Amino acid sequence: MVSYVSGSGSRGAGFSALFAPILFALAFITALVLEFWLQRGEPLWLDEAWTVGIAGPAPWIDFFHQVYWDVNAPLYYLVMYLWQGVFGQSDLAMRAPSLIFAVATPLVLALRPVEGLGRTERLTWASVTALWFPALCYAQEARCFAMLLFISTLQTLAFIRLLQAPSTGRATLWAALGALSILTHYDAIFLGAAQGLVYLATHRLRALRTWPAALAFAPAFGWLLYHLPRIVQFARPGIAWYSLLDVDDLTDSLLYLMGRRQCWVLLAVGLLAVGLRFAPLWRPERARREGSITGSASLWLAVLASALGATMLIVIGFLRPSFAPRYLIPDGPGVLLGIVLVIAVIAVIAGRRAAWALGLLVIGLAAAASRQIEAGERIVPRAYNYERASQLLEKVHPEHLVFLWDHPVDPIEHPEQLAAAGDAFFRRDGVKLTVDPVILKPGEDPNRRLLAGAAPPHSVILWVYDVAVHDTAAADFPPQITMLDPAWICRNTGGRRFGVLACWRKSDAPK
């Protein structure tokens, strides 16, 4: 696909050739600033602390048990287990892999030619991906989502190639990447299923002849089958902490997939592409002659598959309490490709300057993303962290920790995993202590239970909760430890919703 910019002779041609690369460079640099600078220095929040606990230094058998006890897929934990063995478990070290994956994702799109997709549109796809709000947020997360976006982007590229020229080799590559996506996050299975259905419906017998490629899914489905009994425990009524989706949640999910505030930028640029009254700089007949997106069905089928995968996941969210918007990340690359294709086609139909429309799209996304980051609109509740509380407790030189993660899944969590999570920052900082993970009984007062567990000398208490989650004991029994026993000092390093209560005896306080 060819984009033109006003001017004549070599000067106009030179600017046309540089337009898309300059646009991508600006978007990429903006993304780096948002990822590295504006989100720097924040403590690891709850889920990241879980990563520290699971992937911490331990024998392989202990690591395997930790992975099995968790509800999430294993591949990211394996990467982090190997990574921390070399680079340690500082906040920066634990987040570095996500930063690497976040940087690599748009670079892959920018450097990897896609048949049927012009360079301008491909670099715009890379720019939009770099500035996609979920991608920016999870670039600073010691969780699997930046890695998931990277792998699912490769999977989407492989799927486009497979649709263009089916072969067992291409199908095997796509299936292998699909298996890696599933092993990174189980909900990626919906993208793989949707792409498989589109592949079969499009190529039929040719697709069936590539059946040996399905064997590449065997590791993913083998592990999933082995892990299924544990996953089922988390899906039991009263344990699952999500709510069933309603119509308002559907709107929020779609906005999330479009980048929240960024969706209004996309709409505005689409309308602007129709309304611009400049001389036509991008001619449809020449674009078709040189491989226009309008003539490449595989691109649109890849978008369709991503939309279908997202639809499957959302529909199940209406039937079972199992959905969070971030689970749509595997479908992001295809959806973002669709946005670029739609705006480009609108520009072709309107006979306007596609280059300017796409340029305004990237600039608008950068502005919206910057505003969202600066306003603190994180995907995750960063206040829900106990790294600061752990560091506060370390100052009293504890020997015994009583840890309560006050959450509906608490009854089915393995005590050793709870102990590893509670001990994560102490162990990382070289503080050796025994951990008493508390699992409350229904209706039990956590205040009295924690005080009873902290009877031994040099004990400390760490109580973590989210009162917005159902069956949280802190909602019925607010913290009253200092009222029940004035010998204790407590500090809440969280807030009203996210409570992080750190308590120690007055006699242990540093002089």
354 domain-assigned:
yes
Q: Based on the fold, state whether residues 338 and 391 are members of the same structural domain.
A: no
Give the DSSP letter string of 438-475.
--PPTT--HHHHHHHHT-STTEEEEEEEETTSTT-HHH
Q: Based on the fold, state whether residues 218 and 298 are members of the same structural domain.
A: yes
21 domain-assigned:
no
Q: Based on the fold, state whether residues 246 and 365 are members of the same structural domain.
A: yes
How far is it, in rounded angstroms, from Cα 507 to Cα 511? 9
Per-residue pLDDT band at 14 (split at 50, 70, 90): very low
Per-residue pLDDT band at 280 (split at 50, 70, 90): very low
Look up the CATH number of the domain holding residue 411. 3.40.190
Strand partners, 434: 400
Helix (H) or strand (E) holding 13: helix 9-36
- In angstroms, what CA-CA distances link 306 with 67, 197, 274? 29, 11, 26
Largest CA distance in the chain: 84
Q: Based on the fold, state whether residues 393 and 491 are members of the same structural domain.
A: yes
Give me 139's structure tokens: 């670039």
Pairing of strands 400-406, 459-466: parallel
Q: List the beta strands (DSSP E) in 203-288.
A: none
Q: According to DSSP H, which parts of 276-428 are helical?
A: 284-289, 297-319, 332-350, 354-374, 387-394, 415-422, 424-428
Q: Based on the fold, state whether residues 99 and 133 are members of the same structural domain.
A: yes
120 domain-assigned:
yes
Q: According to DSSP H, which parts of 131-217 are helical?
A: 133-138, 145-164, 168-184, 189-203, 205-208
- In angstroms, what CA-CA distances link 124 with 120, 185, 355, 384? 6, 27, 10, 35
Q: Based on the fold, state whether residues 57 and 172 are members of the same structural domain.
A: yes
Q: What is the pLDDT of residues 29-68, one digit of tens each?
A: 888 887 776 666 788 999 999 999 999 888 999 999 999 9
CA angle 280, 285, 290 (to 5 degrees): 110
Please state the rounded mean pLDDT for residues 452-477.
94
Q: What is the pLDDT of residues 411-431, one digit of tens each?
A: 899 999 999 999 999 999 999
Q: Based on the fold, state whether residues 92 and 207 are members of the same structural domain.
A: yes
pLDDT score recorded for residue 249: 76
From the list 183, 416, 413, 189, the residue with the least C-alpha distance to 322 is 189
Please state the rounded mean pLDDT for residues 193-199.
97
Q: Based on the fold, state whether residues 166 and 80 are members of the same structural domain.
A: yes
Q: Based on the fold, state whether residues 360 and 393 are members of the same structural domain.
A: no
| SS3 (DSSP) at 48 | helix
Give me 460's structure tokens: 């400390």
From the list 278, 238, 12, 33, the residue with the least C-alpha distance to 136 is 33
Per-residue pLDDT band at 286 (split at 50, 70, 90): very low
pLDDT score recorded for residue 118: 83
This prediction has a pTM of 0.89
Q: Based on the fold, state whether residues 50 and 118 are members of the same structural domain.
A: yes
Q: What is the pLDDT of residues 292-348, one digit of tens each?
A: 444 488 999 999 999 999 999 999 988 888 788 889 999 999 999 998 887 777 666
6 domain-assigned:
no
CA angle 198, 199, 201 (to 5 degrees): 65
Q: Based on the fold, state whether residues 310 and 346 are members of the same structural domain.
A: yes
Question: Are the C-beta atoms of 110 and 122 separated by less than 8 Å?
Answer: yes
131 domain-assigned:
yes
381 domain-assigned:
no
Domain count for the chain: 2
Per-residue pLDDT band at 369 (split at 50, 70, 90): low
How far is it, in rounded angstroms, from Cα 144 to Cα 148? 6
Q: Phi first, then psi: give them for residue 462, nearest 5 degrees.
A: -130, 115
473 domain-assigned:
yes
Q: Based on the fold, state whether residues 47 and 190 are members of the same structural domain.
A: yes
Domain boundary (344, 374, 404) is at 374
From the list 348, 323, 368, 321, the residue with the least C-alpha distance to 131 is 368
Domain boundary (374, 405, 425) is at 374
Per-residue pLDDT band at 269 (split at 50, 70, 90): low
From the list 265, 27, 39, the residue with the least C-alpha distance to 129 is 27
pLDDT score recorded for residue 487: 95
Three-state helix/strand/coil letters over 422-439 = HCHHHHHCCCCCEEEECC
Question: Are the C-beta atoms of 497 and 467 separated by less than 8 Å?
Answer: yes
Domain boundary (353, 374, 395) is at 374
Domain boundaries, position 74? 29-374
How far is it, in rounded angstroms, from Cα 187 to Cα 181? 9
Question: Are the C-beta atoms of 50 and 421 separated by less than 8 Å?
Answer: yes
More confident residue, 56 or 203: 203
